[in-house]
Amino acid sequence: MRNDTAATPQAIFRKDYVAPGYWVDTVEMGFDLDLDATHVATRLTMRRNPDSAEKDLVLFGAELKTLQLRLNGVNLKKSAYTIDGETMRIPNAPDEVVLEIETLIKPSKNTSLSGLYASNGNFITQCEAEGFRKITWFPDRPDVMAKYTVVLRADKKKFPVLLGNGNLIEQGDLGDGRHFAKWEDPFKKPSYLFALVAGSLVCQEEKYKLGSGREVLLQVWVEKGNLDKTQHAMDSLKNSIRWDEERFGLELDLDRFMIVATSDFNMGAMENKGLNIFNTKYVLANPSIATDIDYAGIESVVGHEYFHNWTGNRVTCRDWFQLSLKEGLTVFRDQEFSADLVGTSTGRAVKRIEDVRVLRQVQFSEDAGPMAHPVRPDSFVEINNFYTVTIYEKGSEVVRMYYTLLGHDGFRKGMDLYFARHDGQAVECDDFRAAMSDANGRDLTQFERWYSQAGTPRVDVQTHYDAAAQTYEITLSQRCPATPGQPEKLPFHIPVAMGLLNSAGQDMPLHCEGYEAQAGVNSLVLELSAASQTFRFTQVIEQPVASLLRNFSAPVVLNISYSDEELGLLLAHDSDPFNRWEAGQRLATRRLVRLTKAVQAGEPLALDSMFIEALRATLNNDTLDPAFRELVLTLPSEAMIAEEFEVVDPQAIHTARQFARAQISQHLRADLLSAYEQHLTPGKFSPDAVSMAKRSLKNLALSYLLEWVDESTFELAKTQFYDAENMTDRLAALAGISNFRGQPQQQKEAAKALQHFYKEFKKEALVIDKWFMLQATAHTTDVAKVRELMTHKAFTLGNPNRARSLTFNFCNANPAQFHVADGSGYALWAELVIALNKINPQVAARLARSLDRWKKYPLHLQEKMHAALEKVAAAKKLSKDVAEVVTKALAA
């Protein structure tokens, strides 16, 4: 039995790694699938690892009923092994072992969605990170790789489809209404990549020819009624297969590749060998239910899981501390995949800006809080808590820095060497760094600190222009704030891509001492590796404006004091689109901080015309990609503004940002109306980049227009809502309508529109999630309204997507209401975390993180947050997952 009451959670440490005492060569499993009692028979052939300090045969198991344990044909006596928590130790086992295990498990009772569980009457598995031990006793750790053969047996009527990893080698009837399927995975794999699916499912399938000419079978499996929503996932899969061949020379290694969609899933998707299992959110799409953002999400998650087949499955992780080895690299690959599919240079920049926005908003915040950890952590209590934005998104930035430092071809050489050395192995982050280093003859010793040190480095910039000598000096100084367990940091190796703009906004030729000048190349990657370094440029004929950290070349905060005029120049002219956008964000942030302070001081609010005119010029600049204009016109989020303050005042920030939006709405009214009209997308819906860009600018214009209370724009939104033929336009209009600060008449209309939407889509779970999400994030939704929505018949905490749609969105994305002064938001949060903890610890622990940054709020709010954290910490039967998060928060 699992020890669930973890008052002081026990950490495990990377330094304590010991190789497994036994390897497993083959795994044979037989499942008698029954929702209430599934019988699992497992036969393992194992052999002693002579190189390990571990002499016992060690297995892990959780929540299992063990029916039988036989070692080399002999039943194991109780005295022949010990069990402590999830760990079974068998001492004095021979060098060669055949272990036969029979376990009984209860899928229908499994609400954690880890291990074997039931979803709408079908069987689904989720084994990463440590779910396999909920199926059978096993050395459930990623460095134990074995070949699996699996026989699935089940009632033929209820479970007509039986899927496993690898190839289907046999199937047939068993009589008595039951049937079987035998699956064999030709590749050895760690247990976390095991999967089975059984149930009543239908598929879209297609034969596909690989670059080598070999034909493979692709399938997308869904529940009945959803076959009209699989085309985009199938297209994304084919694009992924082609892209990995072209960009990295990596081919699909199986004859069959399957995707299965389930509505009960803790995360986005899972890369099980040959049998990827997905949250329906990242598979199902058609124009009437999915937004452009959903289409893009499906493309990138399908890509992500497919790319894991090489970066994760063929080469896997030695231990879970190395998680970013596969996740950071695979996120980098999926980001590049999406960027390459768009193709154009501004299209790439748009993707880059979107990715950096997430990094800054979520990862920088994590890095500044009690859960801060290095990309390769040194310890954890519950590995499920470490599937974080630091491991994924910062990990991807670390991989991107190799790409920036080594160049396109150098990076590819490093990848090729990585696979040549490590195919079929379970390795460490250091092995990846060594491959990049050795393939390019580059010393990347100092680069290791990106893996070992947590925290977001600050780079302070000082510049000096000498007109007489025509020299320009840039001094870069780095520091990194303390993080839990790491009071001091050593300097990082930071690539700083840059250029110099002349007064007309054009790139100037670069002559930097110590760097080779290249004709026609006006961007350079400076390498900052000391605490402080000065870079000297010669032949600089006029005072330049430095464009630094182009394309966001490192995950750092860049402190540089630009004047408004310099930012205006960068926004209007920088050849690097990322920094163009960045300049606009700097202009906006400066103003939003000022406005917030004015709100707090009770002073009158005003927005200057320089800023408004810069936005007007961008909005009306038809040479710019509409998607790029949409990004420039979008103000930094309330969460981003909050990062600018020592002490956060969520209501003041909200008031300030809304004021700025209303000003923009008022002053740019005619421009916004014309942008709206010019970017309509009549005709058949298409989720291509050009149409998506148009819709995004049009809908941004609409949301601005609705900020300045005016009945004609309300009518515009209403018309768009009722006439829309796609979910992107419909949802954007509904969001606008329900946030409109109008008269009672319009509030009635808003309620009517929400009702209408609910009725129309009540059978589409993913759309009802949107319906809850939209209300959770509306300005007017307070704690009482959330409680009321929780009693709605469509609401349940038992389904992660539904739970997230309302409660996570309220706690994380409606800060002015969640942080209401009476603390009722925190009380709700505590109730929810405690309730979820009983159902699904992984999901509960995610919500628990909403109070991570409690120290950043005024004392009166801190007190109430502290009380809420204490309440959760004192709850009965707290999972390790939740206990780790609240214990760390309380220690802040």
Query: Site residues (CB under 6 A) for ligand TRP?
Result: 126, 128-129, 266-267, 269-271, 304-305, 327, 384, 387
Q: Provide the terminal-to-terminal Cα distance of the chain, rounded to the nearest Å.
A: 32
Q: Which member of 63, 128, 305, 630 is catalytic? A: 305
Please give the backbone phi and psi of residue 526, each rounded to the nearest 5 degrees, phi first: -75, 145
Pick from Zn ion, ligand TRP, none: which does 739 bind, CB < 5 to 8 A by kind? Answer: none
The residues with which 257 forms a beta bridge, in sequence order, are: 218
Residues in the chain: 892
Q: Which amino acid is at 802?
A: R
Strand order in 57-60's β-sheet? 57-60, 87-90, 82-84
Beta carbons within 10 angstroms of residue 678's beta carbon: 14
Binding mask 290-329 for Zn ion (x = CB under 5 A): -------------------------------------x--
Task: Pick the closer one to Zn ion by CB: 274 or 584.
Answer: 274
Pick from Zn ion, ligand TRP, none: which does 266 bind, CB < 5 to 8 A by kind? Answer: ligand TRP
* Shortest distance, position 278 Cβ to ligand TRP, whole Å: 9
Angle between helices 689-705 and 292-307 (to 10 degrees): 130
* Shortest distance, position 114 Cβ to ligand TRP, whole Å: 7
* Shortest distance, position 305 Cβ to Zn ion, whole Å: 7
* Shortest distance, position 313 Cβ to ligand TRP, whole Å: 10
Task: Pick the closer one to Zn ion by CB: 126 or 330.
Answer: 330
Pick from 733, 619, 725, 633: nearest CA to 681: 725
Contact 109, 840 (CB under 8 A): no
* Shortest distance, position 844 Cβ to Zn ion, whole Å: 22
* Shortest distance, position 815 Cβ to Zn ion, whole Å: 29
Give me the DSSP letters along 289-344.
T--HHHHHHHHHHHHHHHHTTTBTTTBEESSGGGHHHHHHHHHHHHHHHHHHHH-S
Strand order in 458-466's β-sheet? 532-537, 471-479, 458-466, 557-559
What's the CA gap between 642 and 228, in Å, rounded?
Answer: 43
Give the nearest residue (CB) to ligand TRP. Answer: 267
Site for Zn ion in 602-661 (CB under 5 A): none
Task: Pick the closer one to Zn ion by CB: 305 or 428.
Answer: 305
Encode 355-378: b = buried (16+ Cβ within 10 Å), e = exposed: bbbebbbbbbbbbbbbbbbbbbbe
Site for Zn ion in 329-358 (CB under 5 A): 330
* Shortest distance, position 326 Cβ to Zn ion, whole Å: 7
Structure tokens at 350: 């748009």
* Shortest distance, position 267 Cβ to Zn ion, whole Å: 9
Task: Pick the closer one to Zn ion by CB: 204 or 276.
Answer: 276
Which residue, chain included where needed, has tokens 């992660």?
800
The residues with which 728 forms a beta bridge, in sequence order, are: none
Contact 501, 551 (CB under 8 A): no
Which residues, other chains included, contact 730 with Cβ-Cβ below 8 Å and sequence gap of 6+? Answer: 720, 721, 724, 757
Residues 397/401/407/411 CA torsion (nearest 10 deg): -70
* Shortest distance, position 836 Cβ to ligand TRP, whole Å: 15
Distances (CA, A) of 861 to 300, 599, 647, 833: 39, 19, 11, 19
- How many residues line the site for Zn ion (CB under 5 A)? 2
Task: Pick the closer one to ligand TRP by CB: 804 or 853.
Answer: 804
Pick from 439, 423, 182, 192: nearest CA to 320: 192
Contact 357, 424 (CB under 8 A): no
- Clarify whether 305 is annotated catalytic: yes
* Shortest distance, position 843 Cβ to Zn ion, whole Å: 18
Pairing of the two strands 275-279 and 379-380: unpaired
Which residues, other chains included, contact 342 with Cβ-Cβ below 8 Å and sequence gap of 6+? Answer: 348, 350, 351, 689
Please give the backbone phi and psi of residue 732, each rounded to the nearest 5 degrees, phi first: -60, -40
* Shortest distance, position 219 Cβ to ligand TRP, whole Å: 19
Pick from ligand TRP, Zn ion, none: which does 127 bind, CB < 5 to 8 A by kind? Answer: none
Pick from Zn ion, ligand TRP, none: which does 270 bind, CB < 5 to 8 A by kind? Answer: ligand TRP
Angle between helices 711-723 and 744-761 (to 10 degrees): 10
Maximum C-alpha span of the chain: 95
Pick from ligand TRP, Zn ion, none: which does 384 bind, CB < 5 to 8 A by kind? Answer: ligand TRP
Contact 22, 97 (CB under 8 A): yes
Pick from Zn ion, ligand TRP, none: which does 69 bind, CB < 5 to 8 A by kind? Answer: none
Pick from 371, 374, 247: nearest CA to 323: 374
Pick from Zn ion, ligand TRP, none: which does 126 bind, CB < 5 to 8 A by kind? Answer: ligand TRP
Pick from ligand TRP, Zn ion, none: which does 128 bind, CB < 5 to 8 A by kind? Answer: ligand TRP
* Shortest distance, position 305 Cβ to ligand TRP, whole Å: 6
Task: Pick the closer one to ligand TRP by CB: 304 or 880.
Answer: 304
Task: Pick the closer one to ligand TRP by CB: 107 or 491.
Answer: 107
Pick from ligand TRP, Zn ion, none: which does 887 bind, CB < 5 to 8 A by kind? Answer: none
Task: Pick the closer one to ligand TRP by CB: 304 or 864.
Answer: 304
Contact 567, 541 (CB under 8 A): no
Task: Pick the closer one to ligand TRP by CB: 126 or 728.
Answer: 126
What's the CA gap between 667 and 657, in Å, rounded?
Answer: 15
Task: Point out the residues that are catalytic.
Answer: 305
- Write out the residues near Zn ion by the rule CB under 5 A: 327, 330
